Amino acid sequence: MSGTTRDYDVLIVGSGAAGLTAALNLAPRFRVAVLAKGGLSEGATGWAQGGIAAVLEPGDTFESHVEDTMVAGGGLNDRATVEFVVENAPAAIARLSELGVPFNSDTDGAGWHLTREGGHSHRRIVHVDDATGWAVQQALEKAAAAHPNITLIPDMVAIDLVTSRHGERYSGDGHVWGVYALNKAKGKVETFTARATILATGGAGRVYLFSTAPRGATGDGIAMAWRAGCRVSNMEFMQFHPTCLYNLEVKNFLITEAVRGEGGRLINPATGKRFMPYYDAERLELAPRDVVARAIDAEIKRYGLDFVHLDISHQPAEFVKGHFPNIYEKLLGLGIDITKDPIPVVPAQHYTCGGVVIDLDGRTDLPGLYAVGEVSESGLHGANRLASNSLLECFVFGEAAAKHIAVNWDTLLAPPPIRGWDESRVTDSDEEVVIKQNWTEIRRFMWNYVGIVRTTKRLERAQHRIKLLTGEIEDYYGHFRVTPDLVELRNLLQTAELIVRSALKRHESRGLHYTLDYPKTAAKAVDTVLAP
Ligand X SMILES: Cc1cc2nc3c(=O)[nH]c(=O)nc-3n(C[C@H](O)[C@H](O)[C@H](O)COP(=O)(O)OP(=O)(O)OC[C@H]3O[C@@H](n4cnc5c(N)ncnc54)[C@H](O)[C@@H]3O)c2cc1C
Q: Between 3 and 38, name the residue whose CB sits nearer to ligand X.
A: 38
CB of 366 to ligand X, least distance (A): 17
- Give the binding site for ligand X (CB under 6 A): 13-19, 35-38, 42-45, 47-52, 132-133, 156-158, 200-202, 212-213, 216, 220, 254, 351, 373-375, 388, 390-391, 394
CB of 486 to ligand X, least distance (A): 12
CB of 157 to ligand X, least distance (A): 5
Catalytic residue among 124, 289, 363, 465: 289
- The one-letter amino acid at 384: N
- Rounded Cα gap, residues 92 and 393, in angstroms: 10
Q: Between 212 and 247, name the residue whose CB sits nearer to ligand X.
A: 212
On the CB side of 140, CA atoms within 13 Å amount to 32
289 is catalytic: yes
Identify how many contiguous H helices and E strands the chain contains and give both numbers: 14, 21
CB of 485 to ligand X, least distance (A): 12
Q: Between 164 and 218, name the residue whose CB sits nearer to ligand X.
A: 218
Task: Give whole-number Cα distances, 493 to 239, 293, 435, 473, in Å.
Answer: 19, 25, 11, 9
Three-state DSSP class for 244?
Answer: strand
Which residue number has the CB closest to ligand X?
16
Q: Between 149 and 197, name the residue whose CB sits nearer to ligand X.
A: 197
Q: Between 18 and 267, name the residue whose CB sits nearer to ligand X.
A: 18
- Rounded Cα gap, residues 30 and 10, in angstroms: 7
Which is nearest to 121 in space by CA: 159, 157, 71?
A: 71
CB neighbours of 441 closer than 8 A, spacing ≥ 6? Answer: 465, 469
- The one-letter amino acid at 432: E
CB neighbours of 443 closer than 8 A, spacing ≥ 6? Answer: 206, 207, 208, 209, 492
CB of 39 to ligand X, least distance (A): 8
Which is nearest to 329 in space by CA: 131, 135, 478?
A: 131
CB of 272 to ligand X, least distance (A): 29
CB of 5 to ligand X, least distance (A): 17
Which is nearest to 446 in space by CA: 457, 459, 433?
A: 459
- Rounded Cα gap, residues 450 and 444, in angstroms: 10
Residue 156 sits at φ, ψ, to 5 deg, of -130, 105
Q: Note whether 418 and 191 are within 8 A (CB).
A: yes
- Rounded Cα gap, residues 21 and 394, in angstroms: 8
CB neighbours of 209 closer than 8 A, spacing ≥ 6? Answer: 443, 444, 446, 447
Q: Between 388 and 438, name the residue whose CB sits nearer to ligand X.
A: 388
- Rounded Cα gap, residues 431 and 55, in angstroms: 53
- Rounded Cα gap, residues 179 and 197, in angstroms: 8
Q: Between 200 and 466, name the residue whose CB sits nearer to ligand X.
A: 200
User: Could you list the active site residues?
Assistant: 289
